[in-house]
C-alpha cells in the first residue's frame, strides 16, 4: 500500500461541511434537527468510505465476478445517488443544505475545489507506471486544471468580479470534466466486460486498489456533489 493524500482530502471535505454547519448553527440559521441531518449525511458518507475501503482490501472489487458487472459505469455514482436520494426524500436535510449554502460566501465553495489540484499526484504516479496512463490523461489532468482554475477564480469571486451565473456554470464545468469521461474511461480499462480496450498495465484495476479506490468511489464524487449543490444555488439566483 503506497502513501496517498486521498484519506486526508476526505477529512478536509468533511471538515468543510462540519465547519459550515457549525457556523450556520451558531448564527441560528439552522435548527438542531437540521444540523443533525447534515451530520447524518456525513456519517453515511463515512460509512460508505469504510465499506468501499474494506471491499477493496478484501479483493472484492478486482474479482472476476465483480468486474463482469461493469463497475466503472456505476460504482462512482453510489455516493452521489445516496446524497441525491437523501436530498429528495428528507425535507429537513434539503432545507438544511439550502440554508447553509445561502448563508455561506460563494467563494468558500470555490476554495474547497482547490483541493482538486491534488490530482497532480495521480499524474505523477502515471509517469512512474503506477496508474493507467489513458485515465490520467483524459480525467486526471483536466481535474487538476479545474483545481488550478479554482485557485485563480477564488480571488476574483471574493471581489465580486464574476456573476452568480458565471460561477454556477463554472461549477457545472467541474462536474462535466469528470462525469462525461471518467466512468467510460475507467470501464474501458477494466477486464471482464466487452469494452476492455485499454489493456496496457497498469489498467483501471489500479483505481480499485486501496487507497486509490477512495478517489473514484468517494473523494471525487464528493467534489462533484459540492459542485452540484453550489451550482443549484447559484443558477437559481437572479442574473
For 132-174, write each residue's pLDDT tens digit: 889 899 999 999 999 999 998 887 766 667 788 889 999 999 9
The answer to whether residue 228 is domain-embedded is yes
What pLDDT score does 220 carry?
A: 97
Residue 200 domain flag: yes
User: Is the residue at 239 inside a domain?
Assistant: no
CB neighbourhood size of 190 (10 A): 26
How many domains would you assign to the chain? 1
Is 34 among the domain residues?
A: yes
pTM value? Answer: 0.93
Taking residue 139's Cβ as centre, other Cβ atoms within 10 Å add up to 26
Asked if residue 23 is part of any domain, the answer here is yes
Q: Match 468580479 to its residue by C-alpha cell.
A: 161
Give the model's pLDDT for residue 237. 66
Q: Which three cell numbers stand for residue 63?
A: 474479482
134 found inside a domain: yes
Whether residue 1 is predicted with pLDDT greater than 60 in this model: the reply is no
Q: Name which of 225, 217, 232 is nearest 83 in CA terms.
A: 225
What distance in Å separates the CA atoms of residue 49 and residue 59, rounded to the nearest whole number? 16
In the prediction, which pLDDT does 212 show?
94
Q: Is residue 221 part of a domain?
A: yes
For residues 15 and 90, give the distance between their C-alpha atoms in angstroms, rounded to a whole number. 23
Beta-carbon contacts of residue 93 (< 8 Å; ≥ 6 apart): 34, 37, 38, 40, 41, 86, 87
Residues of the domain holding 199: 6-234
Would you give the DSSP letter of residue 30? Answer: S
Q: Is residue 194 part of a domain?
A: yes
- Per-residue pLDDT reduced to its tens digit, 185-194: 999 999 987 8
Amino acid at each position: 500500500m503506497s502513501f496517498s493524500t486521498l484519506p486526508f482530502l476526505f477529512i478536509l471535505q468533511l471538515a468543510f461541511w462540519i465547519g459550515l454547519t457549525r457556523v450556520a448553527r451558531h448564527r441560528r440559521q439552522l435548527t438542531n434537527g437540521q444540523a443533525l441531518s447534515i451530520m447524518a449525511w456525513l456519517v453515511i458518507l463515512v460509512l460508505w468510505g469504510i465499506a468501499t475501503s474494506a471491499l477493496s482490501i478484501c479483493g472484492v472489487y478486482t474479482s472476476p465476478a465483480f468486474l463482469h458487472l461493469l463497475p466503472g459505469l456505476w460504482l462512482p455514482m453510489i455516493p452521489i445517488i445516496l446524497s441525491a436520494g437523501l436530498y429528495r426524500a428528507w425535507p429537513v436535510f434539503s432545507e438544511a443544505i439550502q440554508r447553509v449554502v445561502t448563508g455561506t460566501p460563494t467563494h468558500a465553495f470555490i476554495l474547497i475545489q482547490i483541493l482538486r489540484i491534488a490530482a497532480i499526484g495521480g499524474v505523477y504516479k502515471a509517469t512512474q507506471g503506477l496508474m493507467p496512463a489513458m485515465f490520467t490523461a483524459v480525467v486526471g489532468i483536466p481535474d487538476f486544471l479545474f483545481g488550478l482554475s479554482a485557485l485563480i477564480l477564488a480571488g476574483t469571486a471574493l471581489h465580486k468580479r464574476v456573476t452568480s451565473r458565471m460561477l454556477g456554470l463554472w461549477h457545472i464545468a467541474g462536474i462535466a470534466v469528470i462525469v462525461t469521461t471518467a466512468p467510460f474511461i475507467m470501464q474501458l480499462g477494466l477486464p471482464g466486460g466487452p469494452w476492455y480496450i485499454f489493456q496496457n498495465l497498469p489498467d483501471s484495476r489500479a483505481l480499485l486498489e486501496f487507497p486509490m479506490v477512495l478517489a473514484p468511489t468517494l473523494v471525487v464524487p464528493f467534489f462533484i456533489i459540492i459542485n452540484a449543490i453550489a451550482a443549484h444555488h447559484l443558477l437559481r439566483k437572479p442574473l
